[in-house]
Chain A
Amino acid sequence: MTRARMTCAAACALLTALPAAAHHSFATEYDRTKPVSVTGTVRKVEWRNPHIWFYVDVKDDRGRVTTWGFSGAPPAFLQRQGIPSSVLKVGDTVRVDGFRARDGSNNASGGKVTFADGRSVFTASPEDVRPN
């Protein structure tokens, strides 16, 4: 089994966990009725407690760039599921699926990251609503 496949298999194990809250409340911060799917370039990764954050620059048809911020699981959750911090690299092209912040900002829960080669990992907390 390749490392990439192992990572994906481990990440997919996150899918079976049922909703419950760890540090924060998904429902308090994000709106499950507002799914977000953006494609862009990873600008920055913060693999830090209490939740990882990563930022993606998204260019529109006119070439204007909007930076989206995504919140994911605590680092320990991901580490124990075989997902290292190196899974997200600055400059990677990714599609991120999540749910938009309730405050209307360009922040979202970063539930699923799909890479250019089709691999995907679930970076969400187990309590977060899972994108398709």
Chain B
Amino acid sequence: MRCLLIIAAGALIAACSTAQAPESSASDQQGIPRAADGKPDFTGVWAGPGFVHTGNPDTDKPQVRLYTEANMAPIKPGARERLYRPYAKNVLIDDPTAVCLPNGLTRQIPSPYAQQWIQTPTQLVILYEYMHFFRVIPFGPPNRPHAPDVEPTYMGDSIAWWEDDTLVIDTIGLKEWMLDAYHAEDGGSRWHSDQMHVVERLRLTDAMNASYEVTIDDPAIFERPWVEKWSMQRKPSWKILENVCEDNNRCIAGNCTPADVQLSSASQ
């Protein structure tokens, strides 16, 4: 585990040290910033799909987005209970983030927190503000196989390639986890299986905006892959901020113990 962390940290540092600053990008005739290798340059801080984009470089409106039921493919017979988990009064089923467990990839994508992208010719690094998650994604030939020994994780194993000016990120190796932030008030939680395959397709539509298509391919639950179409917007004035979930997590799942509330904290 320690070895993996060291490798990940090393990759992160290497990527950051060679990253192209957005200010140094050249723009093409459509105003699309281009990296030194001529690829569309996604480097920068972004308000992802978890915001209602204002166009204002300083502000944006955070809003968790859920995957849209109308966009979903038909559910396989008997698989509905794998997708929808009834409210169980168990935080590990109803919402594991309430005890600071991770979003997982499919919920992280539309999380209402900033994210910083660092693009180099060989890899893409995404730093998520929420819970400090990161992805180090190697570029390579299209549709190449993933490593054969991928272990299931919250964020999975991602690889990337270019299809003309479209950035494609292909992810497998996701453990069975929440699909999104669907909650008890919506009727329960929503989950995906460990057969989940996610394809993200991104395209810069101008200097400030990108289209963000997410293909959900979960053959254990759905009859066929289906697509959610979102967007993200650059926020040049933003920085990703510290987000330590464990710092002051209170009243987990509505249970406010004396240790959580005013008797212990306000009197200090």
Contact = CB atoms under 8 A, between A and B. Distances in A.
Interface of A: 10, 13-14, 16-18, 20-30, 43-44, 46, 48-51, 53, 55, 67-69, 71, 74-77, 79-82, 101-103, 105-107, 126-127
- Size class of the contact patch on chain B: 35 or more
A37 to B, nearest CB: 18
A39 B181 CA distance: 34
Contacts of B97: 23-24
Contacts of B265: 44, 46, 53, 55, 69
Given A28-B183, A126-B61, A49 B245 contact: yes
Contacts of B111: 22
Interface of B: 52, 59-66, 94-95, 97-98, 100, 111-114, 129, 181, 183-185, 238, 241-245, 247-251, 253-256, 261-262, 265-266, 268
A105 B245 CA distance: 23
A50 B251 contact: no
B63 A105 contact: no
Given A25-B183, A28-B95, A46-B265, A101 B251 contact: yes
A106 B262 contact: yes
Given A44-B265, A44-B266, A68-B262, A20 B251 contact: no
Nearest to B245: A50
Given A24-B98, A27-B183, A107-B261, A77 B245 contact: no
Q: Which of B65, B112, B113, B238 has the most CB of A within 10 A?
A: B112
Given A26-B185, A28-B184, A81-B59, 14 more contacts: A13-B59, A16-B61, A21-B64, A24-B98, A27-B185, A43-B266, A49-B247, A53-B265, A68-B262, A76-B243, A80-B62, A101-B254, A107-B256, A107-B261
